[in-house]
Amino acid sequence: MDIVKLYIMIGLFAKLIVALNSNSRPGEMASAIAFGFLLALIPGGNLLWVLLFILAFFLKHNMGSFLLSLALFRLITPLFDSLLSSFGGLILDASFLRGFFTYLYNLPLFSYTNFNNTVVLGAFVAGVVLWTPVFILFVKLVRIYRKTLAPKIAESKIIKALKKVPILSKLTKAVSKLSVAI
Amino acid sequence: MKKVKKVPKIFRKKYKEKAFNKKILKRIHIPKEREKVEALFEKNEKDRYVLKGDISQETIKKLKPLAKTIKKNKGLVTKWKAIIVLIIVGSVVFFNFIFKDKLIESFAESGLESLFEAEVEIEKLHLSLFKGILSYESLAIADADKPMFNLVETGRAVLKINMRELAFKRVHIEEIALSEVLWDTPRKSDGSLVEGENGGENTSEKEDSSLMDTLSLNSGDFDYQAIINSQKENLSSLKLLSESNQKIEEAQARWTGILYEKESEVKALSDKVDTVKSISLSSVQSVDEAASLIGEVQSYYPEVEAAKESVVQLNRDFKSEKETLFSMKDSLSYSIDTDMAYLVDTLDITTGDFSSIASDLAEDYVRARWNNYYEYGLKAWNIVQKLQSAENEDKAESRGLNRAAGRTILFPSPDKPSLFIGHAGLTGGDEKQGHLVMDIKSISSEPDKTKDPVSLNLILTKGEQIIVLKGVLDLKTDSPVLFFMTIDVPGNPVALEKGIPVLGINRLTSIADTSLNGTVLYDDDTLVTVLKTELTELDIIQSADDSVISTAVNILFDNTENIELIGEIAITKEGIDSIFFQSDFDTLLQDSLGSYLEDLKSTYTRELKDNLLQYLSPDLEKNEAYSSSLDALGVQSINQISSVNRVKDVLDDKVSELENRGDAIADELKSKAQSEAESLVDKAKDKIKLPGF
């Protein structure tokens, strides 16, 4: 089972590398990572998470980056649970929002979102707030990579030497095919 | 001939500057590639961007994938994902019509199997999501403890679920109709989940060992010897007596041999010493001769002393062994008393206290019935606990085990419980188990949000028997009474098939009117039940004897129109905590039969003791005989000591005589010498003349 997980992780990482070096929109990658971050932040097992996942699935962005960021962020999000719970509690306990939450609470299907749980709501609000900064950050990072790092890496002696290794050469060609790059 | 590559359509079009930037350049996200493409275009005379004419085949080859990526970068939603979703939706619809019921059936079966740890079969399960109806044609749950039996099986069941409430995360089952409910029914196949594992059935019940069931109370027919014979393996006195006899017999044989040998030794010594008697004192003429004979006699002393010591030690050993053996004999009387007590207990003769016969019977009956219910109750309790632990596991699993649970804040909402069953109607049973009709209303997971408490109505009919149960379970926090129930069993024919042996009754039939009230107060886990039963139309079949008891019981029943039983039972989670019954019949029995049976018991005990002693008498006689023999051997041993003492006395006498003889000779010689000396002095006096005289 661990080997399967490792295989999947390597596959996702390869897709990320391919996407970085292909002519895909930087926004596609950045939004994938931002959605992965948002979904990693929100505890699973509720309708809110499912709906966000469906939304992320429908939007055009790099699935490799999305799943990889989801998996990686999920490893660290439990560390922030108490913080998220306090934040969520602060919002849910706010008297001026009580009417609004009561309204939501009494809407059909809304109970399944578990929005009245402090960790869920804290994570959701924090995730939504942080979505844009994460998105912008990764758009810029992709652009920087493509403008400055990618040409240097491609021209570096190490990469050229590595490309001569038969297996790596085949891998590069496969990656090139996948990336549909010129 | 080499194939000439065509420039992709997207690059063949003519673009205004704005469109060129929007549709081409902005969709190329690698700066180097963008610059290359920009260089391939030029403006024509109409100020439109067109591809330059001198483009090499190599460049066209590179433009093809670029054109593809430009197209790909268009829009926010991917078409293939929409297609996947359409396929999923289509599959769900397809599944709903074709596989849904089968899958749910399979899930339900495996879920119930893990819960009950036995095979579960559901037939024709159907779920209508739109109507909110779940139904099945039959359900059979095997009993894990008895795999060849079903714990429960039902026929058709229909559950009407309120789908609107489900949208609010509340499971409200408006109606459950369950028919043909049967329990403990035989199965055609083994219902255990693991092959070969069979809980088996322990159908053999421990038989009542009371001898009174087979004996008449008529003392004339009482076969005491048969009782003693049947219990002889358990009688300690018999064993002790036999063991004692065997040991005494062995000791007697051994000591007879030893003492016979010693007797011979003493006799030989005595004969030897008898030679001393032949020494004649008159033959002793001198002191030296006397001294010499004394020495001769004294030379026997060491042998005699050794013989004396030996017989004394032997006597001591004999006494010690005899004491040990006789101590066994002493404990025999205690052992006989113990056996008597045991035999009297085995007889199970009533103490003559008749104050609790009817109430004891009622208590035994209730306890026996309770054990069956308790077994079912325990099974149900285990299932509920498993269900709760499974729910907790599911909750932990759904949020991910490494995530914090957080705090769930509740907002004002309609006061409706998360789980509610409006009405459950259940019918079932058969001729053997009785026909059952049950109605349960208002089952709720949050009783405070429910208007009515849980109510239960049950009617069980079996032949002429009817049981009507009405119960109310009020779990609201302010309710003073947690549970209240009444059970009425009117005109119920009852038969005591085993009768009441102690009264010589082989069978008792009557009509019983029973009413029961059970209550559990809030904050108290005890169900306190008050039971009242009135037995009328009493009819008994007695054993064919004309004993006093039979006659008395017959008269008593002729004059008794009804028997009243009142009981109080306290039941906790652990079982029956206390049980108390009283009956007017017990008082009547006590008055008419108590004293008689008290006397009868004394007679039985006395007769039994006589018979036991009679039974033991051969061994007792043997024991007495062996004991007498041992006593005789003791006398023999003492005689041996006396014999040795007599031998010693002979020696002592002879020594004394010889000493006296020696002394006499010495005295005689002394006086003779003195007289001779005196005569010599006198003669000398005459011859010697002193000067001056």
pLDDT of amino acid B197: 45
Please tell me the distance from the alpha carbon of residue B73 to that of residue A28, in angstroms, as a whole number: 9
pLDDT of amino acid B195: 52
Contact B407 A23 (CB under 8 A): no
Supply angle C-alpha B244, B249, B252, rounded to 5: 125
User: Which residue from A24, A43, A180 is facing B65, i.e. has the nearest CB?
Assistant: A180
Q: Is residue B374 part of a domain?
A: no
Contact A43 B30 (CB under 8 A): no
pLDDT of amino acid A48: 93
Distance from CA of A90 to the nearest CA of B (A): 11
Looking at the fold, whether B133 and B164 belong to one and the same domain comes out as yes
Diameter of chain B measured on Cα atoms: 219
pLDDT of amino acid A172: 61
Task: Give residue A182's pLDDT band: very low, low, confident or very high (50, 70, 90).
Answer: very low
- A vs B, Cβ pairs < 8 A, gives 119
Which tokens go with A106?
Answer: 């009494």
- pLDDT at residue B594 tops 80: no
* Residue where a domain stops, chosen among B167, B186, B205: B186
- pLDDT at residue B113 tops 80: yes
Give the 3-state secondary structure of residue B136.
strand
Percent residues over pLDDT 90 in chain A: 42
Half-sphere exposure of residue B456: CA atoms within 13 angstroms, side-chain side: 15
Q: Is residue B330 part of a domain?
A: no
B302 vs A: CB within 8 A: no
Task: For residue B142, list its beta bridge partners.
Answer: B150
Looking at the fold, whether B26 and B110 belong to one and the same domain comes out as no
Contacts of A22 in chain B (CB under 8 A): 69
Please tell me the distance from the alpha carbon of residue B318 to that of residue B325, in angstroms, as a whole number: 11
Please tell me the distance from the alpha carbon of residue B598 to that of residue B353, in angstroms, as a whole number: 8
Please tell me the distance from the alpha carbon of residue B390 to that of residue B28, in angstroms, as a whole number: 54
Contacts of A46 in chain B (CB under 8 A): 398
Q: Is residue B543 part of a domain?
A: no
- pLDDT at residue B644 tops 80: yes
Task: For residue B462, list its beta bridge partners.
Answer: B465
HEC secondary structure over B246-273: HHHHHHHHHHHHHHHHHHHHHHHHHHHH
- pLDDT at residue B218 tops 70: no
Looking at the fold, whether B98 and B70 belong to one and the same domain comes out as no
Looking at the fold, whether B103 and B166 belong to one and the same domain comes out as yes
Nearest alpha-carbon partner for B366 in B245, B470, B518: B518
- pLDDT at residue B404 tops 60: yes
Please tell me the distance from the alpha carbon of residue B547 to that of residue B59, in angstroms, as a whole number: 128
HEC secondary structure over B545-565: CCCHHHHHHHHHHHCCCEEEE
Looking at the fold, whether B96 and B182 belong to one and the same domain comes out as yes
Q: Is residue B514 part of a domain?
A: no
Task: Quote the crossing angle between the two packed helices A26-41 and A118-144, to the nearest 10°.
Answer: 160
Looking at the fold, whether B171 and B137 belong to one and the same domain comes out as yes
B406: left (phi over 0), alpha (psi -120 to 50) or beta: left
Q: Is residue B368 part of a domain?
A: no
User: Which residue from A114, A119, A151 is facing B32, i.e. has the nearest CB?
Assistant: A151
Distance from CA of A41 to the nearest CA of B (A): 10
Looking at the fold, whether B182 and B137 belong to one and the same domain comes out as yes
Looking at the fold, whether B59 and B133 belong to one and the same domain comes out as no
- pLDDT at residue B51 tops 50: yes
Distance from CA of B10 to the nearest CA of A (A): 16
Please tell me the distance from the alpha carbon of residue A176 to that of residue B631, in angstroms, as a whole number: 122
Query: Which domain covers residue B35, as residue numbers?
Result: 9-75
pLDDT in tens, B429-487: 888 878 989 999 998 888 888 888 999 999 988 877 888 999 998 888 888 888 899 99
Percent residues over pLDDT 70 in chain B: 89
- pLDDT at residue A5 tops 80: no
B200: left (phi over 0), alpha (psi -120 to 50) or beta: left
- Region B597-602: mean pLDDT is 73
Give the 3-state secondary structure of residue A109.
coil
Contact A116 B409 (CB under 8 A): yes
pLDDT of amino acid B639: 87
HEC secondary structure over B379-425: HHHHHHHHHHHHHHHHHHHHCCCCCCCCCECCCCCCCCCCEEEEEEE
Task: Give residue B206's pLDDT band: very low, low, confident or very high (50, 70, 90).
Answer: very low
A contact test, residue of B407, B413, B416 with most A CBs within 10 A: B407
Which tokens go with B161?
Answer: 């679920």
Task: For residue B441, list its beta bridge partners.
Answer: B423, B455
pLDDT in tens, A95-139: 999 999 999 998 988 889 999 999 999 999 999 999 999 999 999
Contact B405 A119 (CB under 8 A): yes
Task: For residue B171, list its beta bridge partners.
Answer: B419
Q: Is residue B198 part of a domain?
A: no
pLDDT of amino acid B216: 36
CB atoms within 10 A of CB B533: 21
ipTM of predicted assembly, 2 dp: 0.76
pLDDT of amino acid B229: 81
**Rounded alpha-carbon distances, angstroms, from residue B316 to B130, B289, B644:** 107, 41, 16
Which tokens go with B179?
Answer: 């028919």
Looking at the fold, whether B104 and B145 belong to one and the same domain comes out as yes
* Residue where a domain stops, chosen among B186, B201, B221: B186
pLDDT of amino acid B204: 37
- pLDDT at residue B84 tops 50: yes
The position carrying tokens 């001056």 is B692
Give the 3-state secondary structure of residue A123.
helix
- pLDDT at residue B215 tops 50: no
The position carrying tokens 């206290």 is B353
Q: How far is CA A8 from the centre of its chain?
A: 16
b/e code B178-205 from CB counts within 10 Å (16+ = b): bebbbbeeebeeebbbeeeeeeeeeeee
Most confident of B14-28, B86-100, B151-165: B151-165
- pLDDT at residue B220 tops 50: no
pLDDT of amino acid B613: 85
Q: Is residue B40 part of a domain?
A: yes
Task: Give residue A33's pLDDT band: very low, low, confident or very high (50, 70, 90).
Answer: very high
- pLDDT at residue B390 tops 80: no
Contact A146 B29 (CB under 8 A): yes
- Region B392-421: mean pLDDT is 76
pLDDT of amino acid B400: 55
- Region B298-312: mean pLDDT is 87
pLDDT in tens, B523-579: 777 888 898 989 898 888 887 666 667 777 887 888 888 888 898 988 887 778 888
User: Which residue from A26, A106, A181 is facing B65, i.e. has the nearest CB?
Assistant: A181
Which tokens go with A140?
Answer: 């810029």
Contacts of A44 in chain B (CB under 8 A): 398-400
pLDDT of amino acid A137: 94
Give the 3-state secondary structure of residue B573.
coil
Contact B402 A23 (CB under 8 A): no
pLDDT of amino acid B207: 37
Please tell me the distance from the alpha carbon of residue B9 to that of residue B29, in angstroms, as a whole number: 20
Q: What is the mean pLDDT of chain B?
A: 81
Please tell me the distance from the alpha carbon of residue B182 to that of residue B153, in angstroms, as a whole number: 5
At B366, phi and psi to the nearest 5? -65, -45
* Residue where a domain stops, chosen among B75, B107, B130: B75
Nearest alpha-carbon partner for B450 in B170, B178, B164, B176: B170
pLDDT of amino acid B203: 38
- Region B112-134: mean pLDDT is 88
User: Which residue from B33, B169, B397 is facing A23, i.e. has the nearest CB?
Assistant: B33
B167 vs A: CB within 8 A: yes
**pLDDT: which is higher, B215 or B684:** B684
Give the 3-state secondary structure of residue A148.
helix
Q: Is residue B164 part of a domain?
A: yes
Residue A54 corresponds to which amino acid? I
Asked if B49 and B17 count as a contact pair (C-beta separation under 8 A), the reply is yes
B69 vs A: CB within 8 A: yes
Most confident of A70-74, B46-50, B101-105: A70-74
Q: Which residues does B324 contact at the CB level (< 8 Å), separation at least 6?
A: none
pLDDT in tens, B338-363: 888 888 777 655 545 566 777 888 88
Domain count across chain B = 2
Which tokens go with B547?
Answer: 């004993």
Looking at the fold, whether B20 and B48 belong to one and the same domain comes out as yes
Picking from A41-50, A99-108, B89-98, B408-417, which range would have the lowest pLDDT averaged per residue?
B89-98
CB atoms within 10 A of CB B399: 20
Residues 377-416 on B with a CB inside 8 Å of A are 397-400, 402-414
pLDDT of amino acid A163: 64
Please tell me the distance from the alpha carbon of residue A38 to that of residue A128, in angstroms, as a whole number: 7
